[in-house]
Amino acid sequence: MTVTDPSLSNLLETLTSSLDAATAALTDSAERFIPPTDGISLLDIKNDLVLSYLQNLAFLILFKIKETQSGSDVTDDSYYHATVERLVELRIYLERGVRPIEQRLKYTIDQYLQAANHKKSINAVRSSTGHIRDADASDDSGSEMSDGDAGARIESTADGDTTIHAPRLAGAIAASRTKPTAPNAAAKAGIYRPPRLNPTAMPSADPDARSSSTRQRKSQLMSEYIDEELSSAPTAQASIGANQTIDARGHAITSARDIARQRERTEYEETNFTRLAGETKKEKREKKRREGKLGARDMFGGEDWTGLGGMGDRIGRSVEGKGRDKDSVLKRREKRRATDDLPRGDGMQIGDSFAKKQRVLAGRADRRANKRR
């Protein structure tokens, strides 16, 4: 068989040499094509896809050789199209499926491979020296020496950085047996070292601990109305004038909260036979300042009614409007003449509306003249 295309012959030689190298690298056992039980499934799938891709590529090369020898067009063959479609499908699997996943798992795969190589190096060192002993089978000193020697031999025989990710049990055991723990060392030194805890704000059950800006503001007038009018529980009422609820010369009233606070103060003094201290200078200044602010406003019953009158005036002006007659919108609408597309009659309505308009204008002129007088 002669091949005229030089590129095709070079491709055949490359493929043949690659197959020979792969065959020489494989073992002669019967299980060489079976995936290992402890292998990585991603690499197994990648190998199967690459092998299938090479097989279909070999079929495509055969079709090209056939076309070169016979001179016929192989694009009409159904097997040729099936081979090309299979090659495209396998190429997509390799480039869009296996390659991105392999790049994401590259670090994990490298760790597994390094661990496997490290295990092989340990087995090779132990088999070459013929000395395998357990770290727990001997005493502490002997085990430390043997573990240190084994670790040194493993590190000396390992290639590059293959032992970086491997666990070093010898160093961990030696450190745990020789180095005392921190609490034991502190106990021997006679120094108490409290455990380190993260700083945490303790919860507060005091409702007054909240800031005044975030504290919920309740209406005193509404609270007293609910307690007195809507509650069915019996309440004790003092005699008229005995409770002293009128303050500031009749301009203020003592709230139920202030009365309850004063009652609690009186009960405490009578129970403990002591007299509580009066208001401090700071509290008196604060009280005067608060009363001064409240006196400048329209206060009644502990509530601020300053803006109520202004709000009513604004509502009245907005409803009444400017430059309008006293008649409402509805009345002025009823006075308008109908403009529906209906029969107009004999034309007398136009004269009536004109006469009515004259009477209205005359009445307005008379009222203006009377006002000027």
DSSP one-letter string for 336-350: SPP-SSS--TTSHHH
Which of 259, 297, 262 is CA-nearest to residue 276? 262
Q: Is 273 helix (H, G, I), strand (E, B) or coil?
A: coil
Range of the domain at 66: 6-24+34-109
Please check whether residue 336 lies inside any domain of the structure.
no
d(CA 48, CA 53): 8
Q: What is the dihedral of CA 293, 297, 300, 305, to 10 degrees?
A: -130
Please check whether residue 153 lies inside any domain of the structure.
no
Please check whether residue 52 lies inside any domain of the structure.
yes
Please check whether residue 208 lies inside any domain of the structure.
no
- In tens digits, the chain (373 residues) has pLDDT values of 444 566 777 777 887 888 788 777 766 655 566 666 777 888 888 888 998 999 898 888 888 888 888 877 777 788 888 889 999 999 999 998 889 998 888 898 888 888 888 888 888 888 877 655 444 444 444 444 444 444 444 444 444 454 555 555 555 554 445 454 555 555 567 787 877 777 777 776 665 555 554 555 556 667 777 777 787 888 777 666 565 565 655 556 666 777 888 889 999 999 998 888 888 888 888 877 776 655 555 555 555 566 565 556 666 666 665 555 555 666 766 666 555 555 555 555 666 777 888 888 888 888 888 887 7
H-type alpha helices, the chain: 6-25, 41-70, 78-92, 99-104, 106-129, 140-157, 169-178, 182-189, 220-225, 256-272, 281-295, 306-320, 329-335, 348-372
> Which pTM was predicted?
0.31
Please check whether residue 312 lies inside any domain of the structure.
no
Please check whether residue 278 lies inside any domain of the structure.
no
How many residues make up the chain in this entry? Answer: 373
Q: 84 φ, ψ to 5°? A: -65, -45
Structure tokens at 52: 């299938």
Answer yes or no: are the C-beta atoms of 258 and 301 closer than 8 Å.
no
Rg (alpha carbons) of the chain, rounded to whole number:
52
Q: What is the dihedral of CA 141, 144, 150, 155, to 10 degrees?
A: -140
d(CA 327, CA 371): 19
Please check whether residue 67 lies inside any domain of the structure.
yes
Structure tokens at 75: 């694009």
Answer yes or no: are the C-beta atoms of 67 and 73 closer than 8 Å.
yes
The number of folded domains in the chain is: 1
CA 277 to chain centroid: 54
Answer yes or no: are the C-beta atoms of 63 and 80 closer than 8 Å.
yes
Q: 79 φ, ψ to 5°? A: -65, -35
Please check whether residue 317 lies inside any domain of the structure.
no
Q: Which residues touch 339 (CB under 8 Å, ≥6 apart)?
A: none
d(CA 133, CA 164): 24
d(CA 22, CA 14): 12
Q: H-helix or E-strand containing 304?
A: strand 303-304
Q: Which amino acid is at 285?
A: R
d(CA 298, CA 103): 77
